[in-house]
Amino acid sequence: MSLEIQFICKEKHKDIIPEPVSADKAFPGWFSKMPKESKCPFAFTYENNPFEIEHNNRGNITGCRGIVDFLKLGYVVPSWDNFIFREKEDGSLYVNWMYMGEDISYAMHPEEQYVTMPNKPLYGHFSKITTPWLAKTSPGVSCLITHPIWHKDTPFTTSTGVFHTDISPCELHWFFEWDYKIQSGLDLETMDVDNQTIDVGDPLMLIIPFYRKNFSSVTKYVSSDEFDRLSKSIFYKTHPLMKFNDPYSKFRKTLGRMFK
């Protein structure tokens, strides 16, 4: 069964603002620049005997299947405007945008709304900016909305939440905390461009649709011999004696592109 997520926008914005894209089309720039490695630096590898395990210090992060598969998960919502953040003389955070005018609103959720939370946001509030997008999904499909985690060069952290987008379309709000302390009183000529501005096209949110199912959790204790047997089975299934010849790699190929 093919499931669908719709990103809905006003017609007047067509061909003007960047559209949400499947995450595999928005890999982090630093990741794409690295040499492609088939070996995962975080795991173990076999030589000739699958029970003789040797730590692999040779690959790089592009060989980690878990990270690569996560980077292909869901949809990235890019910035639709240029945003400039600044600190006012009273120490509060403020933002200006260049193009969208009244189609954007900015609001703050002060710490009084989450008084028991430790490690409160740097500026004492979460910020919320309306996006031009609504999201709607097929029956039974909800959306996890979160930060594009592996885009490590952002001065903000997008907050995480779940919305049941099949029951009602979700008006996507960019809900975030600003992580960079800005010097007060800076103008356009003296500001820190890398840490005070968001450009059109920069990734802001990651939307991961998921099909709602009931789960139950079971805690199981086994003998040391059984645990060792399962561990060896994991290595056999997930680490190839020959390049990409293990069952796990073969299974990944059957998945194709899950998000288009």
CATH number of the domain that 108 lies in? 2.70.40
Q: What SS3 class is residue 66?
A: helix
Amino acid at 133: W
Between CA 63 and CA 41 the distance in angstroms is: 7
Does residue 146 fall inside a structural domain?
yes
| pTM of the full structure | 0.87
Does residue 147 fall inside a structural domain?
yes
Does residue 176 fall inside a structural domain?
yes
Does residue 134 fall inside a structural domain?
yes
- Give per-residue pLDDT as tens, 134-191: 999 999 999 999 999 999 889 999 999 999 999 999 999 999 999 999 987 777 778 8
Kindly tell me if the per-residue pLDDT of 117 is higher than 90: yes
Does residue 50 fall inside a structural domain?
no
Kindly tell me if the per-residue pLDDT of 42 is higher than 70: no
Does residue 81 fall inside a structural domain?
yes
User: How many domains would you assign to the chain?
Assistant: 1
Between CA 176 and CA 140 the distance in angstroms is: 27
More confident position, 35 or 202: 202
Does residue 65 fall inside a structural domain?
no
The neighbour count for residue 6, using CB atoms within 10 Å, is 12
Print the domain residue range for 200.
Answer: 75-211
Contacts of 63 (CB under 8 A, 6+ apart): 36, 37, 38, 39, 40, 41
| Cα 131 versus chain centre, distance | 17
Q: What SS3 class is residue 24?
A: helix
Could you tell me the two tokens for 58? 């040779």
Does residue 136 fall inside a structural domain?
yes
- Give per-residue pLDDT as tens, 240-249: 655 557 788 8
Mean pLDDT of the chain: 87
